[in-house]
Structure 1
Amino acid sequence: MLSSSSFSLGHQLQLQMEGLSVADADLVVYVHPSKSGKVSQAILRELSSLLFKFNEAFDGVLLAYDVNIQDKQAKILSGVHPYFGLRLKANLLLFSPKSDMLLEGKVVKLSRESIHVIVLGFSSAIITAQNIRGEFKYKTKDEEELFASRSHKRHVIKVGTMIRFLVKSFDEEILHINGSLMPAHTGSIRWLDRNLEEISEFDRSATKSRGREGQEDKTFEGSTPLSYNNHIKKSKKRRITED
């Protein structure tokens, strides 16, 4: 059994995309007396059981951990089963996708109706046709299905392409993401990283056009602006107590 007395986010760590964060955690692991001879193994087994599952206390999916046992002596707990508790300090790598965050993943399946993506090798995502901006046209080339940009000939999305997309929602129970390719700064990562100036110019032109028309374009409403030097939001420190 494990409980968290507190943890805080805020490590100055350069992560590759939004939704990833590092937490400093103060934990207590309760070990059965039968495991007293192999305490380290019991602790690692308990922490490993939490991997790739959403944890409400951490508000994210645990991807990795590094632990340091603080207690020199375990404290016996009173009750029917005399478990003993050990305090730990751990560094946790968490995946906590929220609406309007930018994530990256690999396209594993593509059709006229949808694009299917795997994020970090374990979480699935789907981008349906209504969430793919009109710039992209579905076509088949050499019997291969793909979405090709009408504006930029070399901007192509197909099976195997690494893409950057916006989060619309996240199902914590099955770790499934609904995504969007509506903002201009989403699409093939390789193409985006090579054509940043062109994208910026496109955004400026679109803004001027909307201003002339006097209409508000809802396409980019609620999207997270992308800083290409460091597009990770620095997490605010917080503490969570779990009974």
Structure 2
Amino acid sequence: MEGLKVSDAKLVVYVHPSKANKVSQAILRELSSLLFKFNETFDGVVLAYDVNLPSKIARILPGIHPYFGVRLEAKLLLFHPKPNMLLGKGMVVKLGQQSIHVIVLGFSSATITEEDIRDEFKYKVKHGKEVFASTSHKRHKIKVGTILRFLVKSFDEEILHISGSLLPAHTGSIQWLDKNLEDGSHIDRSTKKRKESEGRREMQEHEKEMVDVAAFSMNTDRRHKKSKRPKSGEDS
């Protein structure tokens, strides 16, 4: 999905002397404090990290409080949607006559207002449920639970809020778009099947991406726990 990237980072983590016997824990705690916040240095919201914990050697910094300066390298999973990017993993959580509310990757909210919803979508209430139904394609509907592909207008880095748009013709329900976007063009049958298969995979990857984000950082914790096990022959 556009807006996601993995970045290699070289960091210096400052550890208080009181944590000298728990350096690894202090580093992990410091890295965890970066999660789900926009970081100007890395130019994105830090979603997860994978780090190789350093040796116990650290340099004491001069000053009133002699902190330990620990250098390390880490891989960071970053999210930074920019104007005119297409996001394809937004789940509709609420809609009304004048707006559609979306959650992206389970943490960032997005709003698409009436002025940014193209005219073919008309608001209706069917069987007590709200829906935006296309007047051009009867099966193209947007309702709670729909996975949307939409265009980014702007991103508020402070509150992690996205303003989106459904004005372009290639935006809307991913499930419908991937099955019907090529209609009217001269695409052979094998290409159409491939596109349908890609569409199904994209739908399935909506949940998988969230699992991958969690697994990305869990690897660090597992290695940390493993490193704490005493080696054979060492004093307990």
Normalising by the smaller structure, the TM-score range is 0.7 to 0.9
Q: Deviations over 1:115-143 (max 9, x none)?
A: 00001111100000000011111111111
**Aligned amino acid, residue 37 of structure 1:** N
- Provide the TM-score with structure 2 as the length reference: 0.76
Superposed, 1:1-243 pairs within 5 Å as 17-103=1-87, 104-198=89-183
Cα distance per residue 1:183-210 (max 9 Å; x no partner): 1111001111112312868xxxxxxxxx
- Distance in 1 (CA, whole Å) between partners of 2:37 and 2:185 is 38
CA distance in 2, matches of 1:174, 1:49: 16
Identity %: 74
Q: 1:69 Cα deviation (Å)?
A: 3.0
Task: Give distance in 1, aligned partners of 2:75 and 2:46.
Answer: 11
1:71 touches 1:88 (CA, 8 Å); kept in 2?
Answer: no
Structure 2, gaps ≥5 residues long? 187-197, 203-236
Q: TM-score, normalised by structure 1?
A: 0.74
Question: What do residues 3-58 of structure 1 show as CA deviations (whole Å, max 9, x unaligned)?
Answer: xxxxxxxxxxxxxx110000001111010011011111000000001100000101
How far residue 150 of structure 1 moved from its aligned partner, in angstroms, is: 1.0
Mark the CA change 1:91 to 1:199 in structure 2 (over 3 Å): closer, same or farther. farther
Please report how far the alpha carbon of residue 71 of structure 1 lies from its aligned counterpart in structure 2 after TM superposition: 4.9
Work out whether residues 23 and 56 of structure 2, in 8 Å CA contact, stay in contact via their aligned partners in 1. Answer: no
Greater fraction of residues in helix: 2
